[in-house]
Chains A and B, each alone.
Chain A
Amino acid sequence: MHTTLLLDMAADAAPDRLALGRMADGVTFDEVRNRARAGAAWLSDLGGDTVAFLGLNGPALAVAVFASGLLGKPFTPLNYRLTDADLNKLLARTAPSVAIVDEDMVGRLQPAEGVTVVTRGAFEAACLDEANRSRELAEVDPDIGVLLFTSGTTGEPKAAVLRHRNLTSYVISTVEFLGSEEHEAALVSVPAYHIAGISAVLTGVYGGRRTVHLPAFTPEIWVEEAAAEKVTHAMVVPTMLGRILDVLEKRGEHLPHLKALSYGGGRMPHPVIERALRILPHVDFVNAYGLTETSSTIAVLGPDDHREAMSSSDEAVRKRLGSVGRPLPTLEVEIRGPEGELLSAGQSGEIYVRGEQVSGEYLHKKAVQDDGWFATNDGGWMDDDGYLYVEGRLDDVIVRGGENISPGEIEDVLREHPQVADVAVLGLPDNEWGELVAAAVVTKDGDPSGDELAGWVKARLRSTKTPEVWEFREALPYNETGKLLRRQLKVEMTAAAKHPATV
């Protein structure tokens, strides 16, 4: 089933309902379809096998997702927060392609062979052009709906493959068709290059809910928009929530229209969610755990779970606030040990998942087993009632603010510094960001400061990849075979952060 069928269904059944944008000047479902068809017709003249997208959130994103589906070409959103060098590398990898790019990002791009760059404005105008709107589109039978670059521990980002059948399976099994009431509105501030940003487009359309996109997040703008647009549903990454709560408290704003707030993409610190439940008692909180490779959500901690956990006197139930809830009924989840053996409740291992919405595929590489089971690379365990707890990445990827950061890349850069003899980069738990980037450094021929090394990294990678915690050591821990004992280092550094040595 194709994602464009989701739009057709909504546009056929609720053509005049607002689909995107503000109450005052939003776009109806019927109009979204018209624009997607026009956009597809226009793009079809420009060639390429993929439609890349580099830009902020907004109605054009949703239109572009469906336009590429109508064209039968994969949609590839690119991360605008990458350095220019990394961005251009990814852009080149999309070739042959057409790239829809925000006007103020065009200047960052180098010409790439096989990539035709068009501005967002040109795409938007084409979608309104009568000539394009009346063109017939060729019949297509696309397979890949979305390609999303995702970072691993080392090396170049992999392109995660999400087929139309994975995406639609996820949508139709978790969303009731036109299940949203007409007054509902969703506020989406998760960027386009995050799987949640893409699935929000699809689930919003299928559910028949108006989606307001926030191009760039600040907690003040979020609160203002949520109030002004009478937003009923919103999704945030955990780091945004704490900052939003600060603004709400400062302004005495209670967002009376807000019915549900969902979050995911990284660890939600206990103190933050508890504070949210206290400040916004009328809001249903939902923790959604998922991965790019699983078309987003595979487990949900629902509103009742949240409230029960907050008010229970049973320790095991209270603990659930730190879980990601129970797996979706359409999926199977298992915890397996290092030999692939099935583990029982309470035992820690790797989280495996199987189901229609699971892709687990990358371009040029398959990570899903022949029997459909996908190893998530997340460590975790399940309790006796089937609540899933996620302990963190097994492959040492750092998740800071909902973003995957590869320690290997930062280590490589630091090793180039003439006074760095050895280095390990890892994530340390943090209440605001989920994890902070920390570096343990062994120096030689001098004593560079943390600030100096931070400057070195920042000049070569983007600022979110710059370590914020620096520890200088005589040596890093290795085992007999020369393998860096990251886990041990992490334990030591976490303990040290809690009990900083007094000088």
Chain B
Amino acid sequence: MELKPGSRWKSAVCDTEVVVVRAVKDPAQLECGGHPMVAHNGEKPAGLAISPEFSAGTQPGKRFADEVSGLEILATKGGAGSLSIDGRAIGAKEAKKLPASD
């Protein structure tokens, strides 16, 4: 999977959708609910189930950064699955508390 900035991906097993904000240094596999994510306008493979290990859920608007791969993504739609890269769970970044400027 080519995780280019701006590319959009959807979960194979739930409603979660993401957009890549920062690209990866080396090839990596982005997963949701324990399964590789699918291109936004691609076909979801049938018959897969959420892995219990990655079922904590994903909130829209949350940003995720993985130091190992360098990948940064933004969740655009929430869902039941949680995100991982190469089987490694990635957590949400703290929301920045910047004063509203616009």
Contacts and interface: CB of A to CB of B under 8 A. Distances in A.
B102 A204 contact: yes
A179 interface: yes
Contacts of B91: none
Contact of A207 (B21, B63, B78, B100): B100
Contacts of B21: 1, 169, 172
Interface in A1-58: 1-2, 5, 8-9, 12-13
Interface in A172-231: 172-179, 196, 199-200, 202-204, 207
B96 interface: yes
A296 B63 CA distance: 22
A336 interface: no
A297 B98 CA distance: 12
Contact of B102 (A8, A139, A199): A199
Interface in B1-55: 5-6, 8, 19, 21, 41
B99 A9 contact: no
B99 A303 contact: yes
B71 interface: no
A12 B79 CA distance: 12
B102 A235 contact: yes
A11 to B, nearest CB: 11
Contacts of A178: 61
A197 to B, nearest CB: 9
Among B61, B74, B76, B95, residue most surrounded by chain A Cβ atoms (within 10 Å) = B61
Which of B61, B74, B99, B100 has the most chain A CB atoms inside 10 A of its CB? Answer: B100
Contact of B60 (A13, A139, A196): A13
A8 B8 CA distance: 13
Contacts of A260: 99-100
A81 B98 CA distance: 33
A233 interface: yes
B61 A177 contact: yes
Nearest to A209: B100
A1 B96 CA distance: 20
A5 B19 contact: yes
Given A1-B19, A9-B60, A172 B74 contact: yes
B99 A13 contact: no
A165 B6 contact: yes
A296 B102 contact: yes
A300 interface: yes
A317 to B, nearest CB: 18
Contacts of A329: 96
A79 interface: no
A286 to B, nearest CB: 5
Interface string B50-94: 000000000011110000000000101110000000000000000
A300 B96 contact: no
Contacts of A174: 96, 98, 101-102
A192 to B, nearest CB: 14
A20 to B, nearest CB: 15
A76 interface: no
A296 B101 CA distance: 10
B99 A286 contact: yes
Nearest to A173: B96
A262 B101 contact: yes
A13 B102 contact: no
A175 B98 CA distance: 7
A332 to B, nearest CB: 16
Contacts of B8: 5
A175 B60 CA distance: 14
A286 B101 CA distance: 6
A1 B101 contact: no
Given A1-B19, A5-B76, A165-B5, A177 B60 contact: yes
A13 B62 CA distance: 13
A8 B76 contact: yes
A173 B94 CA distance: 11
A33 to B, nearest CB: 14
A310 interface: no
Please provide the 10 A-B residue pairs with the shortest distance between their CB atoms, ordered closest to farther: A177-B61, A288-B101, A203-B102, A302-B99, A286-B99, A176-B95, A200-B102, A297-B101, A199-B102, A1-B6
5 contacts: A172-B21, A174-B96, A174-B101, A175-B102, A200-B102
Interface of B: 5-6, 8, 19, 21, 41, 60-63, 74, 76-78, 95-96, 98-102
Given A262-B99, A296-B102, 17 more contacts: A1-B5, A1-B74, A12-B60, A12-B77, A165-B6, A169-B21, A174-B96, A176-B95, A177-B61, A177-B62, A178-B61, A233-B100, A235-B102, A262-B101, A288-B101, A300-B101, A328-B98
